[in-house]
Amino acid sequence: MIETQGVVVRYNGRAAVDGVTLSVAPGEWVGLIGPNGAGKSSLLGAISGTVTHDGVVRIAGRPATELGRRAAARAIAVVPQNPVLPEDMDVIDYVLLGRTPHLGYLAAETDADVAVTEAALWDLGIIHLADRPLGSLSGGERQRCVLARALAQEAPVLLLDEPTSALDIGHRQQVLDLVADLRRTRSLAVLAAMHDLTLAAQYADRLALMIDGRITIEGAAGEVLTESTIAAFSGARVSVIKGPDGQIVVVPKRR
Amino acid sequence: MTVESSRRLPVLLLSLVGGVLLVALLAAVMIGPVDLRPSAVFLEIFDHLPLVDVDSGLDARQAAIVWELRLPRAVLGALVGATLAVAGAAYQGVFRNPLADPYLLGVAAGAGLGATIAIVAVGSGSVLVPIAAFVGAVLAVVATYGLGSAGGGRRTGTTLILAGVAVAAFLTAAQTFVQQRHAETIREVYAWILGRLGTTGWGDVALMAPYAAISIVVIVLHRRLLDVLAVGEDEARTLGVRPERVRTAVVIAATLGTAGAVAASGLIGFVGIVVPHTIRLLVGSSYRAIVPMTVLGGAAFLVLADLVARTALSPSEIPIGVVTAFVGGPFFVVILRTSRRGAQ
């Protein structure tokens, strides 16, 4: 569904993303892991077209540069790391913004747009919050609003940038479960930058480890998450063990 | 579930504010030093509609008071009020700063300098006055924009406001200088600066109408996109919107409207802040509702303010800019307090 070929992002001459080639198929969840500053957000920005870059990004086989801004936004929905949530904006008005790429420049929303928006609110279990201002919601509820907006975009690709970093463990799980369900029911291609390695291993089909702007290892969680690779990229001392149901668990070790 | 109601325009509130505007216009036409029967005023206005011919019973002098003095002044007030208010809302939206208003960004000061130079050079009645005001306003916005992004830093709301303050101070100084150097026109310039609604018939209305129409129409059409800008430039891009394009269109429209309003009525302050924020407290933060409400609310506010300006100390007139600040300030505080209390 999305493919990148030799994508390079430079800031003041320094390459934050240095020749990344990666693909995500429809219905597939690829987890992007790596240390802070490895270029994960820049890569996501290049794919969504908000960061200037060299190299090729293909969306459903077509180069993204051939698509207009709006067409690209109909194909790719982004959940940013620190979304801007205008405090007094009502949830419904905020989620309706997801319909923007489907509307002409000066057009107003139709009943169909409202129906899509309500369906997104329903799917995320926040329909009862529709008329509440964003500022009155809890962290988990806000995160759902951002996801709902991305869903209302009805794009086949979902880019998530550390979608759960601000949440506690229970809400993290909830949000990731929601994404997992949505990916299944809507066959979304999901590319998610994730900090928590254990959760990344559990939810993603495939992991790509990014260090200094390059993808160094890509594959199943068991291949990527070994004690030596984790120590190499993060300097962390960890044990990688198998959980009760065979899943990979990364446990920090104290010195 | 009342999801529908929040998306649609607040029809009830819109008709309420529209009703207030109508009442304000009627009051403005009926109230004045010369007592006229309300029914006769009604008939007189009715008589001017195409294909309608009724006898209002007013004599020629009274009819002229209604048709040549009071009605054009009320209509001008409505146009200026609607334009200044909606321009304020537009600036607050594109700059994502609640303190942005036409005056803070130096637009009005620029228009003021342009208009003063034109008055000094060719007199206050010239059609060059609004043109000069427009040129001054545009230059002021360009200067504020340029300064706000100078130094390689990001163009944040704060740097823009600071740049606007600097530009406004500079242009006001220049305007004062020009004004003091030409003592013979100082009265005209002063009268213009303090803000007044013209009593010269429909001429001012005709002058103001195209500016008001363009700026109101463009901003109303961009109301949904102002909401998109509320999530910031990066996210607006991921939603398929080019924020620069929206900002340029809206700033040009708001500048055009402000320039027209300042040229037609001088520097009437406070409308661009108090009206959008009062509306915001009533309908929430979505510009889809704020913008149309602000157009009607701004019109009603200025018509009423002008009514106070010319009747409170009758027969002398208070400058309307004094009334908008004097009445609007406390009114705003009351609204703010009651709504905060209601929210808790």
Minimum mean pLDDT range among A10-19, A118-127, A162-171: A162-171
Q: Which helix (H) or strand (E) is B165 found in, with range?
A: helix B157-181
d(CA A217, CA A219): 7
Q: Which of B6, B232, B241 sits opposite A100 (nearest CB)?
A: B241
Q: Does A245 touch chain B (CB under 8 A)?
A: no
- Which chain B residues touch A152 with a CB distance below 8 Å? none
The predicted model scores a pTM of: 0.85
Q: What residue of B is the nearest CA neighbor of A78?
A: B238
Write down the pLDDT at residue B3: 42
pLDDT exceeds 80 at position A127? yes
Domains of chain A, first to last:
2-252 (3.40.50.300)
- Range with the poorest average pLDDT among B12-16, B90-94, B106-110, B304-308: B106-110
Least confident of A23-32, A244-253, B301-310: A244-253
- For testing the chain B interface, which of A59, A69, A151, A153 should be mutated: the one with the most B CBs within 10 Å? A69
- Residue B137: which of B117, B151, B152 has the closest Cα? B117
**pLDDT of amino acid B4:** 45
- Looking at every residue in chain B, the average pLDDT score rounds to 84
| H, E, C per residue of chain A | CEEEEEEEEEECCEEEEEEEEEEECCCCEEEEECCCCCCHHHHHHHHHCCCCCEEEEEECCEEHHHCCHHHHHHHEEEECCCCCCCCCCEHHHHHHHHHHHHCCCCCCCCHHHHHHHHHHHHHCCCHHHCCCEHHHCCHHHHHHHHHHHHHHCCCCEEEEECCCCCCCHHHHHHHHHHHHHHHHHHCCEEEEECCCHHHHHHHCCEEEEEECCEEEEEECHHHHCCHHHHHHHHCCCEEEEECCCCCEEEEECCC
pLDDT of residue B6: 43
Q: Are B118 and B133 in contact (CB under 8 A)?
A: yes
Mean pLDDT (whole number) for A137-148: 90
Say which residue, B218 or B155, is predicted with more confidence: B218
Residue B241 and residue A49 in contact, taking contact as beta carbons nearer than 8 Å: no
pLDDT digits (tens, 9 = 90+) for B124-145: 777 787 788 878 988 998 898 8
Query: In chain B, what are the domains?
Result: 9-339 (1.10.3470.10)
Of A42-51, A162-171, B295-304, highest mean pLDDT: B295-304
The beta-carbon neighbor of B235 closest among A70, A80, A118 is: A80
How much is the average pLDDT of A176-200? Answer: 91
Res B155: pLDDT: 56
pLDDT at A63: 87
The answer to whether residue B299 scores a pLDDT higher than 80 is: yes
- Is B241's CB within 8 Å of A114's CB? no
Inspect the interface and report whether the beta carbons of A133 and B232 lie closer than 8 Å.
no
Residues of chain B with pLDDT > 70, as a percent, come to 92
Alpha-carbon dihedral A94, A96, A100, A106, rounded to 10 degrees: -100
A246 touches chain B (CB under 8 A): no
C-alpha dist (Å) from residue B117 to B65, B138, B167: 33, 15, 17
Contacts of residue B232 in chain A, CB cutoff 8 Å? 84
Mutation site for B-interface testing, chosen from A81, A106, A118, A151 by largest number of B Cβ within 10 Å:
A106
Q: Do A89 and B241 touch (CB under 8 A)?
A: no
pLDDT tens, position by position, A33-83:
988 888 999 999 999 988 889 999 998 888 888 888 889 999 999 999 889
Which chain B residues contact residue A77 at CB under 8 A?
238
Give contacts of A 84-113 with B, CB under 8 A: 84-90, 92-94, 96-98, 100-101, 103, 105-109
Q: Which residues on A lie below 8 Å from B222 (Cβ)?
A: 106
- Split at pLDDT 50, 70, 90, the class of B342 is very low
* Residues in chain B closer than 8 A to A107 (CB atoms): 224
| ipTM metric | 0.88
Residues from B in contact with A at Cβ < 8 Å: 1-7, 221-222, 224-225, 227-228, 230-232, 234-235, 237-242, 280, 284-286, 288
| Percent with pLDDT over 90 in chain B | 30
